[in-house]
Amino acid sequence: MPDQIPSREPNVNAKISPPVSSATEPQTSPSAAGRTMAGPTINIADEFGTAKRNLPPARIVMLAVGGVLVAAAIAVFLTRAKPQASGSLDNVTAIEIPGQSSTMVALTFTLRNSIGRILYVRGVQGALKTASGQFSADALSAVDFDRYFQAFPALRNGAQPALAPEDKLQPGAVTTRTVIVVFPVTLDVFNQRQSLSVVVQPYDQPVPVVLSK
CATH of the domain at 113: 2.60.40
For the chain, give the percent of residues with pLDDT over 70. 63
Report the side by side order of strands in the sheet with 102-113.
85-97, 102-113, 174-183
Domain boundary residue among 62, 79, 96?
Answer: 79
* Cα 152 to Cα 138: distance, rounded to the nearest angstrom: 19
Pair 112, 48 in one domain: no
15 has pLDDT over 60: no
The reply to whether 93 falls in a domain is yes
pLDDT digits (tens, 9 = 90+) for 131-164: 989 999 999 999 999 999 999 999 999 999 999 9
* Cα 1 to Cα 39: distance, rounded to the nearest angstrom: 79
- Please tell me the predicted confidence (pLDDT) of residue 74: 60
The reply to whether 27 falls in a domain is no
pLDDT digits (tens, 9 = 90+) for 66-110: 777 766 556 444 445 565 689 999 999 999 999 999 999 999 999
* Cα 85 to Cα 112: distance, rounded to the nearest angstrom: 5
Task: Give residues with Cβ within 8 angstroms of 2, minimum separation 6.
Answer: none
Domain boundary residue among 52, 79, 106?
Answer: 79
Q: Residue 179's CB: how many other CB atoms inside 10 A? A: 26
The reply to whether 51 falls in a domain is yes
Q: Are 108 and 87 in contact (CB under 8 A)?
A: no
Average pLDDT in the chain: 79
Pair 57, 144 in one domain: no
Q: Are 145 and 211 in contact (CB under 8 A)?
A: no
Which residue from 85, 116, 88, 120 is spatially nearest to 202, judged by alpha carbons?
120
* Cα 140 to Cα 146: distance, rounded to the nearest angstrom: 12
- Please tell me the predicted confidence (pLDDT) of residue 1: 46
Which residue from 92, 160, 167 is spatially nearest to 128, judged by alpha carbons?
92
Q: Residue 166's CB: how many other CB atoms inside 10 A? A: 9
Instruction: Supply the range of the domain harboring residue 191.
Output: 85-212
Q: How many domains does the chain have?
A: 2
Q: Are 144 and 160 in contact (CB under 8 A)?
A: no
- Please tell me the predicted confidence (pLDDT) of residue 205: 79
Q: Are 136 and 126 in contact (CB under 8 A)?
A: yes
- Please tell me the predicted confidence (pLDDT) of residue 72: 59
51 has pLDDT over 60: no
